[in-house]
Amino acid sequence: MVVSKFKAAVNSDEGVPPPQEGVEFAKLPWNLNLPDQHYYVHLTTDPESGWTLEHYDPKTDGGILTDVTDVTSPTFPSTTSLNYGTTIWEGLACRRSPTTGKALLFRPQMNYARFARGAHAMCLPPPSYELFMRGLQMVLQNNMHMCPPAPELDPDTGVPLGGAKLYVRPMLLGSGQQLGLHASPQISLVFFVSPTGSYFQGKAMGGLKLHLETRKSRAARGGTGNIKCSGNYAVTMRPLMDAKEHGFHDNLYLELDTYHNPNHPRLCRPFVRLFCRSSVLQIFSLCLKAEKL
């Protein structure tokens, strides 16, 4: 079934809707903003069935995903993800192109790859690539009024200015009721959004003040540090609050075995390094090709 708070899908032939009037997007904090004005997607299945063509058929572009309803989603104390942390999610930034005004997402295929790995680790059936991408498209089409205006370009560098964006969060979680420790009898696939400002708004330009955490570890060998699951963030909350009380912006964690080698800040996971490495290799490859021309 699909659970959604949705309006009619935006017709792509009509162009991208403009930003909603009366919203000062540039001043929004990095948080959930204007939630009563968002529309979201919510699909459910069970572990045995998984995600099928009934949920979404890429050949016909049909299925439950595109059949919009207004059914609400109940939450029970016995929900599996609330008790055992079986939740994974991704975070993507949607921005308007400064030149065309179209909606842009940065490498969602890489988010899907990690999403699928995380689903396996949490005993959750992963959605197909097509279902994941169409879910992103659906939630964006119905929330572009919440996407900030296209950023201005730096006249000297051509780099977009400002950090305002429409944050997109796909989630996969055990939404069934149970008490025992086993795979959830019901699985939910959710897509929701929020317009946000920069995470380190007003701080990144002047540099970040990082605290070197030497007592607690963010990720352990053999653990779930390579999975974007909810529990990975819970363990960072107390160290982060302690660091902020002493005037720091974030923590830099050390490798657990020796507590000598830097691991990564709370927000800079190996996934970010993978993005950067991939980008550097692609740019290097393009430069080599350009030299041969």
Of these residues, 102, 228, 244, 289, which one is catalytic? 228
Percentages of the chain per state (helix, strand, coil), in multiples of 5: 30, 20, 50
Place of tokens 């002047």: 206
CA nearest to 143, candidates 103, 173, 110, 115: 103
Opening angle at CA 83, ends 81 and 86, nearest 5: 30
- The number of beta carbons lying within 10 Å of the beta carbon of residue 243 is 21
Place of tokens 């000297």: 156
Between CA 75 and CA 282 the distance in angstroms is 45
244 is catalytic: no
Between CA 239 and CA 236 the distance in angstroms is 6
Contacts of 60 (CB under 8 A, 6+ apart): none
Catalytic residues: 228
